[in-house]
Structure 1
Amino acid sequence: MNNSTKYSKGNPDGGLTPITSPWMKHLLKNQTLISELFDKYSSPINIHHLPTFSNTISSFKKIFDDYGLKYQIFYARKANKSKSLVKQAFASGIGVDTASFKELEQSIALGGNGQNLVLTAAIKTKEQYELAIENDVAIVLDNKDECQQAESIAKTLNKKAIIGIRVSGFIVEDRKLYSRFGFDIERVEQFISANFGTGRHYENLTLKGLHFHLDGYSTMQRGKALSDSISLIKTLNAKGFNLSFIDIGGGILMNYLENEHEWTDFESNLKSAVIKNDNQLTFNGNGLGYEMIDGKLKGSLKTYPYFNRVNGTAFLKEVLDFTNLETGKTNAQTLKELQLELRIEPGRSLLDQTGMTVARVAHRKQDAKGQWLVGLEMNMTQMMSSSADYLLDPFIIYRDQKESSTPVDVFFTGAYCLERDLLLKRKINVPHLPQIGDIVAFVNTAGYMMHFFETEAHLFELSKNLSFSVTERTSFLDFVSDELVE
């Protein structure tokens, strides 16, 4: 078999064309290599390119360095469970944000410590507190109960717990931003003043900074929240506290798509199809958040915003350049003046272009509506986030190249015994019907798509995770299974 294989993008005449890195294109051309990986690891396989991850880390570091700021970057591990990325994060000089006992335990075993780890779990157990406190890992506390638990455990261990306080409830454009997480910023100053410090209630908690994480992706909201947090730290430090950092969490937008027009056209066409009650763009007319109620279009697109002009480091720059109208100074200027350390916890945006998921075709069939369903050796949880659909066109690698073929519309289905196990809800046009054993590749899946909701229902094996570092002349031996990373 020729080692160089032609591959085809789904929806070749438009669709939603993903940005695709050279390393991805190199693999897509090498069907023999991917087939060897399937023979060893079965289907599906998640593939991670570590140099891409490192390069993205470097780009974020450069922004902070250009501003002359004190900073620390924590990779949000919840976005992807692969141990190889944790090792690479440490090797690239950044930390890791952990959100569970096992994430923290593994990260410590992989080289993490009190200088490069943080625990931000939404639910914290006794074991989590103990492990973090014993290893001097900072803990972000969300409420009074957590403060009390951390205090009690720190006292029992005869240790000081390093903590940050999560805040929320910022007022932006006369509207209070709701979050189920954190202390209300309008009340937290009084709470800290009354309970922290020598002789106070939480004398075993060493308060080092503030933390927030906003819902949504507004740089203006984040800029205002950072500005308000700076003001709060100034007030607290004037009272004798010594807070040294502000952590603004993640939520940094990334851009998946090559073409803005494809994105706007897709949403426009979807709304039009829902209005006309003739939605043939998605499986069984799924509106992906849009629906007609009393003759009017209601709802909104319940997916990630896949095209974004302001993304990555440009997104962060807008937050840093936000100007406090009272002082006339930007966030970056004030942070530098006060020598405050700015911390971020990106997950998705640090993993941009780092991973892809490949799966084999198991069968083809036509349903009662005449729709072609192409079943893959994977299930919907192995490419699922909180988004209503993954709006990127997949790539198809055909084993047998045909000089002439008949294009066909297909839906890709998964292995769970559920009517809704659709890997993509969008209808995908392909050059010709895939055969059993052909390969379907989904690119840029490392951030939240591979593992976030992955389950072992039906006792299916979890997907295999591989990493590699070379780009050209790649061989089977260059890929390392995550099970072997230590």
Structure 2
Amino acid sequence: MAVTPPPSLPAHPDPRLDSILYGGLPHDLAYAFGGPFHLLLPERFDANAAAFRTALEESGVEGRVHYAKKANKAAAWIERCAVTGTGVDVASTGELRESLGHGVRGEDVVVTGPAKADDLLRIAVLQGCLIAVDALDELDRLVALAHALGRPARLLLRRLPPAQPHSRFGLDETEIATALQLCAAAAGAVRMEGFSFHLSGYATQPRADLAGELVELCLKARAMGLRADRISIGGGFAVDYAAAGDWERFLAEQGPADYHAGKSFTAADFYPYHSPVAGADALRAVLTARPSGTGAPLADRLREAGVMLLMEPGRALLDRAGCTVFRVQGVKERDGYAILTVDGTSLSLSEQWFDSEYLPDPVLLPTDARPGDSPVRACVGGATCLESDMLTWRKVAFPVRPRPGDLLVYPNTAGYQMDSNESPFHDLALPPKVVVDEADGRIRWRLDRRPPS
């Protein structure tokens, strides 16, 4: 009788990463650090940012890409932004200072987030950053601050999405009207440059619909004497981690029996690890969509109105730009499968935030060859005393039995997985970030310049 293989979800093949993983470097680094670590590939970040710029150029739309810094704390990405002229999206004083300190110009920074601290607004005004205003009281504070500093504040008005009326972010229609009057009255203190929004989810048509509305708002604002020449559509550009067939099979086959302790997930619990339209192609889909399904495509409307398109992708700029490596510390048997314990914690895989699971299959890097070894299924736990400290609840099928000292590599973790949740629980050191590049045919590495915190 044929045995049904367990559900798996291999990440897209990545020959560049394979050349690093199978060249011996991960084992050397594991020995040097004595704990887990992250690998960063900055050339991938550059390529992803360039792909977004290409999509804008192809459409004939003037635009700017701003990296959403919250997606990963590493300095390497901000260094690349400074070199390539990519903008940065920040939401705290620390993020703003980090960006400025690594050479990003203030005029290339967008400051988002609700109820911004006075210190953040002060630095943003002094450095010429573009500030997305989330509420009327914030606008009042910003106008007063600009008067006090004698410097004009550059701002966007953040629109509450009509399709998401219960969001705590943004200004509704009545508040937008009031804000426009305030901006017109304070024209000497503020430069009202346009509007912004952020939508949950990854659908492209709703982004085009709301962008079309913001273009019309720009025209209305101009009639009031305001500049209003740009809109920001935020982030929400999906990442395609796995092939369509693998994703469909995984969802169809997985069930509680495939997880440690019978834990159950539904498809709605998971990030959509396959997306047929992802990254820069998702931007193309937004630009070619017809807002509200009628009239000219969004790209045409932007060009005709002379409106610049801003965006703040995070995960999409980090696609395939890094991975996370753990060392196996222990292996025990349990009810026909193995439980691996690694030298880190589940706090390094931030799907735990959502009581979910990071699904791309971890790759086993054994310390030696094991001819004749049989495949084994194993879940993966962290090195803490918490039952919930599970990096992978799923019983993953490994080609050979893992042993202490082997490495587990979680692919494509740079976007939101590496450090959103990390903390030095049990006084375990935070995983260092290792920047990898190639020169003259040699793979080189260095520690990221920003220490873990």
Q: If the TM-score is normalised by the length of the shorter chain, which range does it land in?
A: over 0.9
Displacement of 1:456 after TM fit?
A: 1.9
Partner of 2:17: 24
Displacement of 1:12 after TM fit?
A: 9.0
Partner of 2:178: 191
Q: Does the CA-based 8 Å contact 1:376-1:415 persist in structure 2?
A: yes
Partner of 1:276: none
User: d(CA) in 1 for partners of 2:155 and 2:188?
Assistant: 12
TM-score by length of 2: 0.93
Partner of 1:295: none
- Percent identity reads 28
Describe the SS at the equivalent of 2:184: coil
Partner of 2:449: 483
Describe the SS at the equivalent of 1:433: coil
**Cα deviation 1:351-404 (Å, max 9, x = unaligned):** 11110111111111234x454211111111111134511110010011121110
Question: Is 2:224 aligned against 1:263?
Answer: no
User: d(CA) in 2 for partners of 1:231 and 1:240?
Assistant: 15
User: d(CA) in 1 for partners of 2:41 and 2:75?
Assistant: 13
Question: Is 2:182 aligned against 1:182?
Answer: no
Displacement of 1:459 after TM fit?
A: 2.1
Partner of 1:321: 288
- Stretches of structure 1 that go unaligned for 5 or more consecutive residues are 1-10, 274-278, 291-299
User: d(CA) in 2 for partners of 1:370 and 1:59?
Assistant: 46
User: d(CA) in 1 for partners of 2:292 and 2:338?
Assistant: 58
Partner of 2:263: 286
Matches within 5 A, 1:69-88: 69-88=61-80
- Stretches of structure 2 that go unaligned for 5 or more consecutive residues are none
Partner of 2:196: 211
Partner of 2:371: 403
Question: Is 2:359 aligned against 1:391?
Answer: yes
TM-score by length of 1: 0.87
Which residue of the other structure, out of 99, 110, 113, is the alignment partner of 1:121?
Answer: 113
Describe the SS at the equivalent of 2:231: strand
Partner of 1:220: 205
Q: Does the CA-based 8 Å contact 1:219-1:315 persist in structure 2?
A: yes
Question: Is 2:15 aligned against 1:47?
Answer: no
**Cα deviation 1:304-344 (Å, max 9, x = unaligned):** 10011111122111111121469721110011112111001
Question: Is 2:78 aligned against 1:101?
Answer: no
User: d(CA) in 1 for partners of 2:199 and 2:6?
Assistant: 38
More moved, 115-124 vs 71-80: 115-124
Runs of 4+ in 1 over 3 A off after TM superposition: 11-14, 324-327, 471-475
Which residue of the other structure, out of 255, 266, 269, is the alignment partner of 1:302?
Answer: 269
User: d(CA) in 2 for partners of 1:30 and 1:102?
Assistant: 37
Describe the SS at the equivalent of 1:115: helix
Matches within 5 A, 1:406-417: 406-417=374-385
* Residues 302, 156 of structure 1: alpha-carbon distance in 2 compared, 3 angstrom cutoff: same
Amino acid at match of 2:301: T
User: d(CA) in 2 for partners of 1:130 and 1:159?
Assistant: 10
User: d(CA) in 2 for partners of 1:389 and 1:261?
Assistant: 19
Question: Is 2:123 aligned against 1:131?
Answer: yes
Question: Is 2:314 aligned against 1:347?
Answer: yes
* Residues 459, 124 of structure 1: alpha-carbon distance in 2 compared, 3 angstrom cutoff: farther
Describe the SS at the equivalent of 1:469: strand
Amino acid at match of 1:246: I
Q: Does the CA-based 8 Å contact 2:197-2:234 persist in structure 1?
A: yes
User: d(CA) in 2 for partners of 1:228 and 1:448?
Assistant: 30
Displacement of 1:287 after TM fit?
A: 1.9
Which residue of the other structure, out of 219, 226, 235, is the alignment partner of 1:241?
Answer: 226
* Residues 141, 347 of structure 1: alpha-carbon distance in 2 compared, 3 angstrom cutoff: same
Partner of 2:342: 376
Aligned alpha-carbon RMSD (Å): 2.1
* Residues 472, 394 of structure 1: alpha-carbon distance in 2 compared, 3 angstrom cutoff: farther
Describe the SS at the equivalent of 1:366: strand
* Residues 230, 178 of structure 1: alpha-carbon distance in 2 compared, 3 angstrom cutoff: farther
**Cα deviation 1:263-303 (Å, max 9, x = unaligned):** 11222223xx4xxxxx2111222222x3xxxxxxxxx5212
User: d(CA) in 2 for partners of 1:332 and 1:407?
Assistant: 52
Describe the SS at the equivalent of 1:108: helix
More moved, 353-362 vs 466-475: 466-475
Q: Does the CA-based 8 Å contact 1:362-1:377 persist in structure 2?
A: yes
Q: Does the CA-based 8 Å contact 2:115-2:134 persist in structure 1?
A: no
User: d(CA) in 2 for partners of 1:455 and 1:338?
Assistant: 47
Displacement of 1:57 after TM fit?
A: 1.2
Partner of 1:297: none
**Cα deviation 1:410-441 (Å, max 9, x = unaligned):** 11111222111110121101122211111110
Q: Does the CA-based 8 Å contact 1:167-1:182 persist in structure 2?
A: yes
Describe the SS at the equivalent of 1:444: coil
**Cα deviation 1:249-273 (Å, max 9, x = unaligned):** 000011000x312211222223xx4
Q: Does the CA-based 8 Å contact 1:12-1:430 persist in structure 2?
A: no
Partner of 1:334: 301
Which residue of the other structure, out of 379, 393, 412, is the alignment partner of 1:425?
Answer: 393
User: d(CA) in 1 for partners of 2:6 and 2:75?
Assistant: 38
* Residues 204, 383 of structure 1: alpha-carbon distance in 2 compared, 3 angstrom cutoff: same
